[in-house]
Amino acid sequence: MSAVTPDTGGMVPVGVAGPAPVRRLTSGLLLAGVSAAAFSLSGVFASGLLATGWTPGSMVLVRVAVAALVVLPLGVLSLRGDWRPVRRNLGLIALYGAISVAGCQFAYFSAVQYMPVGPALLIEYTAPAAVVLWFWLRHGQRPTGATVLGTLLAAAGLVLVLDLVGPGAGSGASTDPVGVAWALLAMLGVSTYFVINADLSTGLPPLALAAGGLTAATLVLALLGATGLMPLGWSTASPVYGGTAVPWWLPVLGLGVVTAALAYVAGIAAGRLLGPRLASFVGLSEVVAAIGFAWLLLGELPRPVQLVGGVLILVGVVAVQAGEQKATPSGRRGRGRRAA
């Protein structure tokens, strides 16, 4: 059982004191930024591998499996010999791996088979709004005006960053209901990721949750590949980045160590400090960082409208943070609401 604190949106054990608010916020924003930047590199690394014959399913499977191998020993060490939190939360760890890690990625790649990438990402990244709605309906934490304003600004910025406006932006776009359904499932996976990340009541260290989730996700993805539901294919040809050919294993390591291991561990730690609502909005910076890395590493120059969108997302995050702080004086911090 845990109490939900409205100022950070996180779930903290009753009576447990956290770091000073400013230090907590600063550390959380830094970790969330690291996580978003790490996640955003996945598209850059994947682009070269896709060109050599890798399938999306193979990249996801190898990415998660490498991350599990890296994080699992660290997760075991973080438990300090006390396996009780793991035994108490086996179901949660399995859910996290199956839904928040494996299911989210499988649903997204299934969605883009039926609809363009931009609209699929837009639906997936409505997760912050879904997290706000969940805490309103489930825990009675009504969003402040600043939070609502931040949500609208971030949504508008996301539309611009994904280049969904302007001449030709909608040409050839499909609204296949199957694709929309898969994208909505991906959004639920992302939302679950942020909610579980922020739950301190489990007693699981961030490294332990990441290790368990990545291991469970590897098993799920391997099963999907073995049954043929997720096509697998790979190549040892050298992918090219910025005109330079590199060994195939280099971007594979980048996908596993940086865009999965580092990204998930930092994301979980950020969620513990910021709470699910603010962490989910800061996570939108992943889209902005992806544009930046594509510019630096692939020479894909962003359009001015995308830069404006990035600014709107950042302003939206600031507004959400202001809204979360305004919720503090309501007095709900002390009594909280019980979360199952």
pLDDT of residue 262: 95
* Residue 175: Cβ-neighbour burial (10 angstroms; 0-12, 13-18, 19+): exposed
**340/335 Cα distance (integer angstroms):** 16
pLDDT of residue 41: 84
Confidence of residue 338 (pLDDT cuts 50, 70, 90): very low
Indicate if the pLDDT at residue 25 is higher than 50: yes
Indicate if the pLDDT at residue 286 is higher than 70: yes
* Residue 142: Cβ-neighbour burial (10 angstroms; 0-12, 13-18, 19+): middle
Quick: pLDDT tens for 194-232. Answer: 999 988 888 899 999 999 999 999 999 999 999 998 999
Which of 76-80, 106-110, 185-189, 296-300 is the least confident region? 296-300
Its pTM stands at 0.78
pLDDT of residue 15: 33
Average of pLDDT values for 86-113?
91
Indicate if the pLDDT at residue 192 is higher than 50: yes
**67/255 Cα distance (integer angstroms):** 8
Which stretch, 26-30, 93-97, 271-275, 319-323, has highest mean pLDDT?
93-97
pLDDT of residue 76: 96
* Residue 292: Cβ-neighbour burial (10 angstroms; 0-12, 13-18, 19+): middle
Average of pLDDT values for 183-195?
90
Quick: pLDDT tens for 111-144. Answer: 877 877 667 777 888 888 888 888 888 877 787 7
pLDDT of residue 42: 83
Average of pLDDT values for 282-303?
72
The percentage of the chain sitting over the pLDDT mark of 70, rounded to a whole number, equals: 82
**132/129 Cα distance (integer angstroms):** 5
Q: Which residues, 6+ apart, have CB-to-CB distance to 180 below 8 Å? A: 111, 115, 123
Average of pLDDT values for 310-336?
62
Confidence of residue 339 (pLDDT cuts 50, 70, 90): very low
Closest to 89 (Cα-Cα) out of 196, 189, 192, 219: 196
Confidence of residue 297 (pLDDT cuts 50, 70, 90): low
More confident residue, 260 or 22: 260
Indicate if the pLDDT at residue 82 is higher than 90: yes
Alpha carbons within 13 A on the beta-carbon side of 23: 3
pLDDT of residue 2: 34
pLDDT of residue 17: 42
